[in-house]
Amino acid sequence: MTTQIVTHKDVLRYTARHVSIAVGLTFVMTLATALMHLGANAAAAVRVGDVIIMSVCAATVISAVLSGIMIYRSALLMQELTLTRRELSRISQTDQLTGLLNRRGFDDAASSALRSAYHAGQPAVIFMCDIDHFKSINDRFGHEFGDKALIEIADVLRNFSRAHGALVARHGGEEFAALMIGISREQAELHAEEIRKACSAREISSGGISEHVTISIGFTVSRGETELARIMRVADQALYLAKRRGRDRVERADEFSLAAA
């Protein structure tokens, strides 16, 4: 059973218990070593040299054994702490409904990818995707169906990510984001259409209801820009344009729009 250390009293009790164990082990091992080297006759005459040798051997062995035990336990605790931190970090950066990165996870990973793209002289493409009429979908079919729609669209993006190496995330609400490095504007448009068509072809089924949903996509291609927030704003502009022009479509914001963002 793992010891729960929460309060300062827990720390003191844990320390006292292990000090007691260490003292007890030291006493037992010292006594056993003395009996083996010097015998059990307390009145027997013993050479000083034998006492010195016994003392050095006992101190060395006991120190090695106790140090090994404590270091091993410390290593186990460090391993547990590292795994716990890693899991907490994963949870904090993962959307619990869809399993994709959440906004925090995406922003951290995308910022790093943008810096790498800048140093490599490669273009970066940001896609912003939004489920069309999502509020109406929730109102008509219920939130359970809405959640299923989010999960299915996330699955489309996950499959796209596996096929093309994109970074994808649920950026918030019914909005998804994707980042690709090293592709042209023409390739970006083809990829955006691939995502749009795959989403509209996916049948959403929940509670006896089966429907198709559509998404709008806005994207921008950037060279030499590493500030994620600025690029995201331009992709958002393209997304809003796609919505104003009727939804279920792809729109692009030109690179020069960054200067006005």
C-alpha count within 13 angstroms, C-beta hemisphere, residue 39 = 8
d(CA 61, CA 202): 68
C-alpha torsion sign, points 104, 106, 112, 117: negative
Catalytic residue among 87, 144, 174, 255: 174
d(CA 149, CA 130): 12
C-alpha torsion sign, points 57, 63, 64, 66: positive
Task: List all residues 6 or more positions away from 122 whose beta carbon is below 8 Å from its beta carbon.
Answer: 181, 182
**Is 175 a residue of the active site?**
no
Per the structure block, which two tokens stand in for 159? 């499959």
Active site residues: 174
